[in-house]
Chains A and B, each alone.
Chain A
């Protein structure tokens, strides 16, 4: 019900803006048709008002190229621009570039190696300096500077011969064809070269605490431990900003975050959003828009494929059939998340919707294990060739919902003769060596598999991406399937979205069959903002709720 409300609001805002581009009258009419007063749909002529976004983690770095966490992105999207942006529908659109390079328009060569990007000529940095191709070159080189604490370098590391063709054109060559790079560039914010003139150590540059961007908002000040204040950039080249001030406020506790949303101290609840237990109450609050939004992260049970208990597909299938997903989703998560069969989020263009659907069936689970020769031992626990079907399950201690999921699983597994013991670890411990070097039996973990909107998952499922076996990547379940390897390699070399969809459909089918992890559900977030705030639109292809703050305005 409630998510419909935001969707209509978002659509009507977009359609209103589009229509107003055609004729003023149509723009005034369209919202009326949707039963909304016309004035509510028109952004103000001059920036006005303030929005306070509440975040449950404190943003860390202001330099958008440094190693950062999710909550930093909202600030970076407001202050900076990338060459491209990605829409909620997953479409990549120009931002600082004037067009998205493709093999058809010649921006990317036929072999996928030569890239040529045309840039806008009407963009200024917040300090008045013009934005040019030199800034793009500097940004890409800074990421590759071995002394700089850069965030992700995947993709960038393939760059060769970055050349400034003119102020508005840049080109480079790639070491190998790598289609996901376009998507990576939507998360690569461009920083000004001149801000680093004469700076010896880019890690401690003055820019890092007083950032200069091209974005819709300028940096005002940061109050450590409390908030970051931004002000409208009246010279912004794109749509907006319509707000005079944008503030990111750190509220360290999720209950308090919700309380301050209720009390009106914050205008919009940012990450980690409204907790599921408050969902029902939140929807009944007056003057608030509360919506269920599907998130890119998938809740999974990772099974370490190198453990003798999990080597056999039959065991993984039986365990999957013995998880009472529906009860978990409804009883523990207030029915908010959706069932998932794949790592690809439902919002993705590449999502495979016709995978075999999970069915909770203990009888079938027992049958599978019986057929595979796992017979109950004297203690009732099944065994085969000296291996007891007993394993540990771990997750972050203190995560109460996951602890209850563990108890659900423990019970139903017990009924099919499988023993699961619970051994939870603090966040800093579990996500260190224990996870990276695959020292676990099984782990409950929420994972965002995609980088941006790109469907590439080489990092997660390629056999060369297993750190425990000396590989590079995050294949922590130690999944090995040569067919998947080949498909993934083909996928990164292919630029045509239709052809890629075919490839990743097959990847999803393989993963669903092999079950390197048991998918529980696609996570859902409960977003909320004051009813008067227009233009808020979730975008599962970014990591932040504030990706389009430039378009927000008060009705």
Chain B
């Protein structure tokens, strides 16, 4: 086990280095750079721009810049944002909360509703409910989130006035209820697509299990239909869904760009896009490393859990 762990950690470290090199190169190869936003400022001369570039160390050879950045990172210094000068880890931390809140609640909605719709669709196969759920899923999957979000704002905020038209909280009122009120629309809009995906998976997983011999056996034993469903069918059908849920974990932290934009939600997706727009290299690199570490860590944990749970899989 220890050997396996060390081996995986070593592999992860190599992968991280490769990711960082590619990320750094691609980022720096994009023409323009962080100072191009000043090109149209009437009072900024080329001298000013060159001077700032030198002060920021952007005039050094790429290799030197990379090693400088990597060396500092190894010492725990993620650098400072080019935009507002705050430490990169602070910037990430401040956006992480917003994203966790939104993604967490929308995933909870998606899993809860999706599971229920999927099971009900499978047990009442070819019923009106099943057909409507199928059609509903198709619609939810084909409508862009951007459009859906705007329609949601138009109907439920502008017309009906039930929920706010965006933002994470009302400025001046940061109570729990206020957050909750603002959370409803974006998390439902974001959950819609996931409900569709989740319910389709759940439906077919349930159907797979429901036709198996042990289910018939249980029925033959005289186990109540409710107990058959809850204990034998759902329990087994949920197993593959755990893998699916695991696959969604990284997206929990990387945020939802479109939803965050429509609902002015200050999360990670928007941070990434804004930082790219400003060519804020330290933050973009920080986000890249952060998500790479998360993905590697997630995979590692999944591997370990699978190995622990399933005796057929040997590590080493």
Contact = CB atoms under 8 A, between A and B. Distances in A.
A joins B in a complex: yes
Interface of A: 50, 52, 58, 60-62, 66-67, 69, 146-154, 184, 187, 203-204, 208-209, 223-227, 229, 245, 247, 249-253, 255-256, 259-260, 262-263, 265, 426-429, 431-436, 445-452, 459-460, 467, 472-474
A263 B150 CA distance: 13
A61 B85 contact: yes
Given A224-B86, A259-B158, A265-B165, A460 B42 contact: yes
Contacts, number: 171
B55 A69 contact: no
Most buried by B among A187, A227, A450: A227
A150 B44 CA distance: 10
B157 interface: yes
A417 B278 CA distance: 41
Interface in B235-288: 261-264, 266-267, 270-271, 274, 277-279
B313 interface: no
B262 A253 contact: yes
Interface stretch (B29-37, B101-109, B121-129): B29-37
Nearest to A437: B46
B39 A223 contact: no
B83 interface: yes
B224 to A, nearest CB: 52
B168 A428 contact: no
Nearest to B94: A224
Contacts of B154: 259
Interface residues of B, number: 56
B91 interface: yes
A420 B262 CA distance: 37
A431 B32 contact: yes
Would you list the 8 A-B pairs with minimal beta carbon distance, nearest first? Answer: A428-B32, A225-B266, A152-B43, A432-B32, A263-B165, A226-B266, A431-B39, A451-B43
Contacts of B279: 428
A418 B40 CA distance: 29
A337 B196 CA distance: 47
Contacts of B44: 67, 151-152
Contacts of B270: 225, 252
Given A224-B95, A226-B168, A472 B45 contact: yes
Contacts of A448: 40, 42
Contact of A259 (B38, B153, B271): B153
Contacts of A426: 32
Given A147-B55, A149-B56, A433-B31, A474 B171 contact: no
Interface in B129-160: 150, 153-154, 157-158
A404 to B, nearest CB: 21
16 contacts: A58-B83, A60-B83, A149-B52, A152-B48, A153-B48, A153-B51, A223-B94, A225-B94, A250-B264, A252-B264, A256-B264, A263-B153, A431-B39, A449-B42, A452-B43, A459-B42
Contact of A429 (B31, B47, B52): B31
Given A263-B158, A432-B33, A255 B150 contact: yes
A431 B49 CA distance: 13
A432 B36 contact: yes
B158 A262 contact: yes
B20 interface: no
Contacts of B150: 255, 259
Given A204-B80, A256-B263, 11 more contacts: A67-B35, A224-B94, A224-B266, A252-B261, A263-B157, A427-B32, A427-B36, A428-B30, A432-B31, A450-B42, A459-B42
Contacts of B41: 152
A428 B85 CA distance: 21
Nearest to A543: B41
A338 B166 CA distance: 35
B190 to A, nearest CB: 16
Most buried by B among A149, A428, A435: A428
A442 to B, nearest CB: 16
Given A204-B85, A428-B31, A474 B172 contact: no
Contact of A209 (B86, B262, B271, B278): B86
B183 to A, nearest CB: 15
B84 interface: yes
B114 interface: no
Contacts of A62: 84
Given A149-B55, A204-B85, A428-B279, A445 B167 contact: no
A50 B40 contact: no
B43 A67 contact: no
Contacts of A255: 150
Contacts of B98: 225
A225 B261 contact: no
A260 B84 contact: no
